[in-house]
Amino acid sequence: MDSKRVATLLAVAALAACGGSDMSSSSSPTPTTPTTPTTTTSGFFITIANLTFTPLNIRVPPGGTVTVVNNDSMPHSVTSQARVNTFVPGVVAGVQFDTGIFSGGQKTFTIPATAVNGTVIPFFCRNHAGAMATPNGTVTVDASATPAAAPTGQPTTPSTPPSMPTY
pLDDT digit string (tens) for 120-144? Answer: 999 999 999 999 999 999 999 999 9
* pLDDT value of position 10: 44
Q: What's the whole-model pTM score?
A: 0.68
Q: Does residue 112 surpass a pLDDT of 60?
A: yes
Domain 42-145 has CATH 2.60.40.1760: no
Q: What is the mean pLDDT of the chain?
A: 78
Confidence of residue 31 (pLDDT cuts 50, 70, 90): very low
Q: CA–CA separation, 160 vs 103, rounded Å?
A: 12
- CA-CA-CA-CA torsion for 8, 13, 18, 24, nearest 10 degrees? 70
Q: pLDDT by residue (tens digit) across 54-88?
A: 999 999 999 999 999 999 999 999 999 999 999 99
Residues 6+ apart with CB under 8 A from 59: 139, 140, 141, 142, 145
